[in-house]
A and B are shown apart, each in its own frame.
Chain A
Amino acid sequence: MLHTIIKANSYQDSIVLMLLTNKLNTIDGVHNVSVMMGTPANKDIFKTGGLYTDELEKASSNDMVIVLDIEDDSLIDQVLTEIDVFLEEQTKGGGDTTGEEVVKTWDKAFELGKDAGVVVFSIPGTHAALEIEKALDEGKHVFCFSDNVAIEDEKRLKEKAHDAGLLLMGPDCGTGIINGIPVAFTNAVRKGKIGVVGASGTGIQEVTTIIHKLGGGVTNAIGTGGRDLKAEIGGITLKDSIMTLEKDPNTEVVVVISKPPAPEVRDEVLNLLRSISKPAVTIFLGEKPTSHEENLYRAYTLEEAAQTAIQLLNKEAVTAVKETLSVPAHSFKPEQKYVKGLYSGGTLAYEAAMLIKEGLALTGDDHAPEGFILKNQGHEIIDLGDDVYTQGKPHPMIDPSKRKEMLEEAGKDPETAIILLDVVLGYGSHANMAQELAPTIKEIKANAKAEGRELFVISTIVGTDEDPQNIHEQETIMKEAGVILCDSNAQAVRLALAILDHPLTQTDKAIEATPAVNPVTIEPTEAMLALLTNQGFINVGLRSFSEAIINHGGKVVQYDWQPVAGGNITLQKALQFLNKVALAK
């Protein structure tokens, strides 16, 4: 049944009316509708569209005409309301006004990003080396999230960056804070006078979030990429970063985070740290230091590194922080003997394995099979971020599915006593990981209980109250699911060990004299110092990285990178040829 509504003297341009027509067509019960001005030409269109009525003749060119094909007359009022709402919305404007410019070529990226000090890469690793070089040639620091870059390329590019007075953070650098701006998978940490350099993403996250929780702050946490301290690279980025923080007037304490470096690199780094004037804390994860040096403190856990940095910042004596673990009462079945660690953060898994080995005095082969950080008797620590588990899947910080599956397995295993977890918040991570894991945790605890087993799930939340996720909500969800939450990963593991009656004790370390130092000239370039106060970024690849930068007052040029000519090699060669060919004979 056709209905004609004429709104006299109500002019709207045809585009608005087409959009309105589209909207009205979505109303349930509307078979067809058309809204147009009553011009002679439009009346013809009503005809061809099968919506002609005699009343149309009355409409003039200045009248808005609505022809409705409906069964139910009561819809007319709803349609009229929808029209009014729509036309009012139209006048409000809006849309995207962030002014973040999106570009698709280097020319444009460099033109718009001429003030940007840092280029962030998250593109396929096979293309990264070539593109990093372009950024370095343009005098930009590089933060390279991409991995799968050949180590030869890393060495060459890091040397190139060093010679140009620039820092190449990465490849495979997942975390960094530049001038208080989180880059890639990073937490929102308040600014402050502790400067961090790290060859470990989750290591930086754990240390910086604990510093934040203890009231301190980090303005710069420079990631180097995991291979920087290997002998092939020689710690190029790490050393340049330490020198830069040494000369930075806003840094008072320097923290260096890494897995054990190659011996010769380690010596160079320690020598450099002994040469600088600022107090420094090192954590070479996996090494158990037995003493400190003057102004150079050696931590065993990530938590200790953070605590020591805070003590130094507050000009307090460096001592082991005393804690009282509240060990819950428990009664395990005889076969319940083992800890299963299901981690999304690689460094946290590594730290857990280290502490468990020590606490349980585990001996045997240090080489865990593929997919395990530790597999000893029934004790298993797994880094779900390992390539073994992420083939064709997102990282476990984003995608909980694999972890849920393994939680179920660990829960069913009658030998499991304790499950260790981490929930890593921050930019890039899942918006509500606790909510994803909670139902599975409840289920496995309930099933174990039904079988007369008590199952402990202990977790830490790596995050701050400024993160995009709501940390308090995450804590509540985890607690409600029956998880015991600890302040740090190290504490979570210590609690697990205490429950298994193998408590770890922390002791104070003596401070020894500094050994002889080979004098080093410490002269970071202006560009390196400028990095610490950099505001501008060119983000090449994942758009989500732009969000964190903008939220923290940074400026971004988003470069939606694609391989030249869609990756077609022949066309790439043809373009190279045309760009260089001389026309004049």
Chain B
Amino acid sequence: MAYKTIDEANQAVAAKIVAGSPFLLDVVPAKSVIPELNEGKVLLHAGPPITYDKMVDPIQGACVGAALFEEWCETEEEARKMLESGEVKLIPCHHVNAVGPMGGITSANMAVLVVENKTDGNRAFCTMNEGIGAVLRFGAYSDEVITRLRWMRDTLAPVLSAALKTKEDGLNINVLVAKAIAMGDEFHQRNIAASLAFLKEMAPIIVGLTEIDQTKREEVVQFLADTDQFFLNIMMASAKAVMDGARQIQEGTIVTAMCRNGYEFGIRIAGMGDEWFTGPVNTPQGLYFSGFSEADAAPDMGDSAITETFGVGGMAMIAAPAVTRFVGSGGFYDALNTSNEMTEICIDTNPNFPVPTWDFKGICLGIDARKVVETGILPVINTGIANKKAGLGQIGAGTVTPPIDCFEKAVLAYAKKLGFTE
């Protein structure tokens, strides 16, 4: 397909984002869908490529947790030695059709959600949300964390898998997103409506899975009911599936991925295919649980910014009045200004997801790297804030922006690719 101009190519990419149709098909062991995880000791991580020594403490902690979970070793010391020696291969989630929250650490036997973009037939994977408190994604690796991961592998995943398989095409995610956005979710900070809508879909089916032990079914329904952010990971996998479908068009300046590894922020643009353009990550600004402050915050991390790439999260701040106070001085009008400002760096709005609190304007569609560079307006990303020390978990939530360098490098590289000389 040949496009005459970048604007045309960008519109084509945006059209593919609108046409994207993610369905949640299954929950399976990661190694069954990601072949790379079967080649020795391998861990997936969030963000652009990174080595273990550059990882911040919570992500190293999550690596330790994963090593213990996989029973590669008995103790934390052994795990750290193994990781420091380079024995464990590290691969970005994004390189294997996956995304991971916060540290994004994913190993062979962890359960992952399987989302298929029916439009292009491509799939994306993401681990499930562990809940709050001491959790692997924030760098905790205590027995409690490992025990929960095993329960997710042995109970949660099989039950959800069985439930999803009763649906012929899987679960249509766009429908849930459209519903939940009208109920005040923006899908990065706030997912409670979508998580409830998901529970509403699943609960009756799970109740009917009489071949599964009742205790297990009760545990699963209870976990889904308790986990306000459960849908976040489904949203991430869906956004990844849709954006990967859209970036089959390898032309133009639409941002197709944004992610962070605690060290660097990386973006991809359609016209530069798989290449990452990176800059140093920022530290989130936000509200902290008591006893914590910005001084305790880990730098920005996670693949969850794929939600903003798709147009939700911070890009749709106005959809979630309840969490608007995480932005700026924190009122509804701040959120309105933020969302209005985001339209300045996007090429259009997505008619599939009208936002009632935005006078039914559709969510932002297609971040144009050119516009980011031109205006200096950076995408706003909603995020959890991890303690910079591993094992202590989440300490707050807020917003963060990418460094402008990513966009400047991407725009310059693409211009040069097309024949621009300085």
Contacts and interface: CB of A to CB of B under 8 A. Distances in A.
Interface of A: 13, 15-16, 18-19, 21-22, 25, 32-36, 41, 44-46, 48-51, 67, 93-97, 101-105, 107-108, 562, 564-566, 568, 570-571, 573-575, 577-579, 581-585
B5 to A, nearest CB: 6
Interface stretch (B201-209, B214-222, B302-310, B338-346): B338-346
A45 B289 contact: yes
B344 A108 contact: yes
A95 to B, nearest CB: 3
Counting chain B CB atoms within 10 Å of each CB, the highest count among A96, A102, A565 belongs to A565
Interface string B1-25: 0111110110000000000000000
Contacts of A585: 2
Contact of A21 (B290, B344, B375, B393): B290
B291 A49 contact: yes
Nearest to A50: B291
Counting chain B CB atoms within 10 Å of each CB, the highest count among A16, A22, A67, A574 belongs to A574
Nearest to A18: B287
B420 A577 contact: yes
Interface in B132-152: 132-134
Interface stretch (B86-94, B100-108, B161-169, B319-327): B319-327
Contact of B333 (A13, A25, A46, A95): A95
Given A32-B290, A34-B289, A584-B3, A575 B373 contact: yes
Contact of A582 (B5, B331, B341, B377): B5
Contacts of A566: 376, 404
B5 A581 contact: yes
Interface residues of B, number: 53
B415 A577 contact: yes
Nearest to B393: A48
Given A48-B393, A583-B6, 20 more contacts: A15-B325, A18-B287, A32-B291, A34-B291, A36-B289, A45-B289, A49-B292, A96-B333, A103-B341, A104-B376, A105-B344, A108-B343, A564-B374, A565-B373, A568-B408, A574-B415, A575-B411, A575-B415, A578-B6, A583-B5
Contacts of B332: 93, 95
Contacts of A49: 289-292
A16 B343 CA distance: 28
Contacts of B5: 581-583
B287 A15 contact: yes
Contacts of A564: 374
Contacts of A34: 289-291
B185 interface: no
Contacts of B253: 578
Contacts of A25: 290
Nearest to B334: A95
A578 B411 contact: yes
Contacts of B422: 570, 573
B290 A104 contact: no
B414 interface: yes
B362 to A, nearest CB: 16
B371 to A, nearest CB: 7
Contact of B419 (A18, A67, A565, A581): A581
Counting chain A CB atoms within 10 Å of each CB, the highest count among B325, B411, B415 belongs to B415
Contacts of B408: 565, 568, 571
B412 interface: yes
Nearest to A16: B325
A583 B291 contact: no
B377 to A, nearest CB: 6
12 contacts: A15-B325, A19-B330, A32-B290, A46-B290, A49-B290, A108-B343, A571-B408, A575-B370, A578-B253, A581-B6, A581-B415, A583-B8
Contacts of B370: 575, 578-579
A103 B344 CA distance: 8
Contacts of B325: 15-16, 19
A15 B323 contact: yes
A438 B377 CA distance: 45
A517 B291 CA distance: 84
A578 B332 CA distance: 36
Nearest to A108: B344
A105 B371 contact: yes
Given A565-B374, A578-B253, A97 B287 contact: no
Contacts of B251: 583
A45 B287 CA distance: 14
B295 interface: no
Counting chain B CB atoms within 10 Å of each CB, the highest count among A45, A578, A579, A583 belongs to A578
A111 to B, nearest CB: 9
Nearest to A13: B322
A405 B422 CA distance: 50
B322 A15 contact: yes
B290 A574 contact: no
Contacts of B156: none
Interface in B312-368: 322-323, 325-326, 330-334, 337, 340-341, 343-344
Contact of B411 (A16, A46, A104, A571): A571
Contacts of B419: 581
B377 A51 contact: no
Counting chain B CB atoms within 10 Å of each CB, the highest count among A22, A36, A44, A95 belongs to A95
Nearest to A585: B2
Contacts of A15: 287, 322-323, 325-326
B319 to A, nearest CB: 15
A578 B418 contact: yes
A358 B134 CA distance: 86
B106 to A, nearest CB: 24
A565 B289 CA distance: 37
A25 B412 CA distance: 47
Contact of A102 (B6, B133, B341, B373): B341
Contacts of A583: 2-6, 8-9, 251, 418
A102 B370 CA distance: 20
B331 A95 contact: yes
Contact of B337 (A19, A22, A41, A102): A102
Contacts of B415: 574-575, 577-578, 581
Q: Which 4 A-B pairs have the closest CB atoms?
A: A49-B291, A34-B290, A95-B331, A18-B287
A210 B214 CA distance: 89
B392 interface: yes
A584 B4 contact: yes
B375 A562 contact: yes
A581 B370 CA distance: 13
Nearest to B288: A18
B232 to A, nearest CB: 16
Interface in B82-141: 131-134
Interface string B370-389: 11011111000000000000
A571 B373 contact: yes
A32 B9 CA distance: 55
Nearest to B420: A577
A21 B290 CA distance: 7
Contacts of B288: 18
Nearest to B335: A95
B418 A575 contact: no
Contacts of A562: 375-376
A280 B322 CA distance: 61
A94 B331 contact: yes
B4 A582 contact: yes
A16 B253 CA distance: 39
Contacts of B292: 49
A566 B392 CA distance: 39
A16 B322 CA distance: 9
Nearest to B251: A583
A105 B373 contact: no
A484 to B, nearest CB: 47
Contacts of B132: 41
B252 to A, nearest CB: 8
Contacts of A35: 290
A27 to B, nearest CB: 14
B3 to A, nearest CB: 5
